[in-house]
Amino acid sequence: MDALVVCPECGHEWVPAEGGTDGAEGGGSPGERVVKDSVGNVLRDGDTVTVAKALKVKGSPSGIKAGTKVRNIRLVDGVDGHDINCKIDGFGAMQLKSSVVKKA
C-alpha cells in the first residue's frame, strides 16, 4: 500500500524507514528500542506495571482485571505487538502488549 507496509494477520501499518533500528529515538545506542506504556512512560526490564484495562484470557473463565500488578517484566521482540514477557499470579507466564499496561 503505497509507502506503507501492512501486516496481513493484524492489519498493523508502518513505514519501513521507521523500523526503530537506527537508535535515533530516545538518544540511545544504535539498535536499542524504546518501549512505552499506555501513557507514554518508558519501560525497562524489571519494572513493575499495572494492567490498564481488563483482558480476556483464552481457557480461563475469568480474565485479568484492570489494576492487576505485574512485577519484574522483561521486554522482548514479540509477535503482534506483544513486547512484554511476565508472570501473573494465578495465570502464569504471559505476553502482554505495552499499550495495555502503565508503569507503577
Sequential pLDDT tens for the chain (104 residues): 467 777 776 777 777 765 544 444 444 555 678 899 999 999 999 999 999 999 998 888 888 999 999 999 999 987 888 999 999 988 889 999 999 999 98
Looking at residue 42, its pLDDT comes to 94
- CB count in 10 Å sphere of residue 36: 14
Looking at residue 30, its pLDDT comes to 54
- Is residue 31 a contact partner of residue 20, using CB atoms and an 8 Å limit? no
Q: Which three cell numbers stand for residue 72?
A: 519484574
pLDDT tens-digit readout, 27-44: 455 567 889 999 999 999
